[in-house]
Structure 1
């Protein structure tokens, strides 16, 4: 498919100098930028992306859904002698060069879908979740076998030192983080709505409309696996109800994926926890 040599950047400036029409995705606030460097080839860049490479490769090996194929990555930044975890300064350019999956973000079209199209989307996402949940979960942690490495749920300064075997230990990690700037009563009250014992699943971690690509109402692929890993089942569910991703169409899809009463207390706890940690850490 890719007969021509890959164009690979030597600096962040090389990537930033690409014409604006090459931009595939640019977040409004922070996050990683995605640019097209050749037909069918994109580069995602900003900071350390080694764990996302592991997650992409794991998902491609274990799932039937289309996942971007990694074409090149310069290596694990944390293994570089130039990496300074105190400042997270990156003197070199770190990125993922991967195949581009065709389609548009579901968020761009979902509110124009008919009820039949929304039902089609919901049935596909249910099948994707079932596929992910069929993957054996050996622990709570990274797909590579150790502790979680993503910096959104687990900032580097307070990231876990090991994987866990019990959901209660996962929750206790957040309890300990909350105790660094709050009280015992506050930590217990905030985490009370998370079950202490539940199934652990292979989880995307950000399965929302901007990361679901479609052609018509057919899902062509799932992107942005940077937060993936083995999590308690409530994690994916709560994340899919992200306030910033809610729309009329997505709400209808969620009601079909998860029939029955919405677990509002659990959802609120998740988002309150993320907001609290983001503000204080």
Structure 2
């Protein structure tokens, strides 16, 4: 397997992402230091417990230099962000409906770890959204997680809007954690795949929404599309997150 992976690494490349290699027979190889066992396990869980269209895991390996190799099936279609500008209003509405259905499905995946907030293997979570070196946790309580988010804003924790993150009850759900339109694939007007599960983890329920909005902070239309993809209302949490983004910007 490793010999095949190394050989393929030098022969195929992706037009969208240099860490990807599109192989024959409908396969795709993801390579790099950020390719971890957590993503492989996330794909395994999604396939086992849902009907969410995601790459099918073929195999995972890590070399002695720290690079991970994730072999999986290739998703058809194109990234939504490549065609969003020419999608009809009906197609955009359908995309939101499809995304809503998939989110509801993978939220049913259960956490079997002793930690409350963690990656799919019970370990630290990788996420571009925080300024703690991308890796944080795991945490046994929601407050520990929220304290990390609000570090440097201790004097504001007891006041709105940050107090909502502490005082409101939040369920902990399986979360993709990076629903950027580049990770949503569309084919014939329908959402046909969700890719890039490297940040998948168990997090407070609002995180999937606010994390997605963070990806498009200046685009109110896309923000509304994400809002409609959730049954719940997370406006208080979004207001709190906006304050955190302004005080502790992460790029």
TM-score band, normalised by the shorter chain?
0.7 to 0.9
Q: Which residue of 1 aligns with 2:147?
A: 172
How many angstroms does 1:207 deviate by?
Answer: 1.1
Normalized per residue, the structure richer in strand is 2
Q: Is the 8 A contact 1:102 1:213 kept in 2?
A: yes
Cα-to-partner distance string for 1:101-148 (whole Å, 9 max, x where unaligned): 11100111222122211111111111111112233345221222x233
Supply the RMSD in Å over aligned alpha carbons: 3.4
Q: How far apart in 2 are the matches of 1:194 and 1:100?
A: 41
Equivalent residues in 2 for 1:1-281, closer than 5 Å:
8-10=4-6, 15=9, 17-18=10-11, 22-26=13-17, 33-48=19-34, 49-75=36-62, 91=65, 93-137=67-111, 139-144=116-121, 146-150=122-126, 152=128, 159-160=136-137, 162-164=138-140, 166-175=141-150, 178=151, 182=152, 184-185=154-155, 192=162, 194-196=164-166, 197-244=169-216, 247=219, 250-258=222-230, 262-263=235-236, 264-269=238-243, 271-272=245-246, 275-276=249-250
Conserved 8 A contact 1:25-1:35: no
The TM-score, its normalising length taken from structure 1, stands at 0.71
The alpha-carbon distance between structure 1 residues 224 and 245, as it changes in their structure 2 partners (threshold 3 A), is farther
Gaps of 5+ in 2: none
Distance 1:113 1:157 in 2: 33
After superposition, the Cα gap between the structure-2 partners of 1:24 and 1:123, relative to the gap in structure 1 and judged at 3 Å, is same
Instruction: Name the CA distance, whole Å, in 2 between partners of 1:274 and 1:151.
Output: 15
CA 262–172 in structure 1, closer or farther in 2 if over 3 Å, else same: closer
- Secondary structure of 1:101 counterpart: coil
Q: Secondary structure at the match of 2:118?
A: coil
Mind listing any 5+ residue stretches in structure 1 that lack a counterpart? Answer: 28-32, 83-90
Task: For 2:225 and 2:134, locate their aligned partners in 1 and report how far apart those are by CA, in whole Å.
Answer: 37
**Alpha carbons 1:201, 1:232 under 8 Å: kept:** yes
